[in-house]
Structure 1
Amino acid sequence: MDTRARSVVKAVIWNLLGLAMMAGVGWLLTGSLALGGTLALVNTCVGFLCYLLYERIWAGVRWGRRHV
């Protein structure tokens, strides 16, 4: 099971990658770096919170684990 700190670090790194990609896509689709960046930032914040919640829920699920 991952510690909370590990889950947070994984989520931060993943979301930084997603932020960069989403900002690029937003810029390409809107032609505006400010609008694309804003869309990416909102998406990253929502995704970050959902990812943390998802990881913590699965950390408590025993199904599919093998204990040695």
Structure 2
Amino acid sequence: MPTITSTDEPTIKKLKYALTRQVPDMMSGFTIHTNYGDIQIGSDYAEAFRNLTADILQYELNKLRIL
């Protein structure tokens, strides 16, 4: 069984929080903030962004769990 170190715990907690709270909240639309201005993502495209974001965050969480 892989060992999760104490240095991994804050990252794991952040990823879990993002997956359970922030990612589902994206469904109604959201704003991407960049140094050059904001990009509004409306609800019509929000699901595609949400799905991609969830996949990436879950991948990162899985990597930490198998280290």
TM-score by length of 2: 0.48
Higher relative contact order (CA 8 A, sep 6+): 2
**Greater share of strand:** 2
Which is helix-richer, 1 or 2? Answer: 1
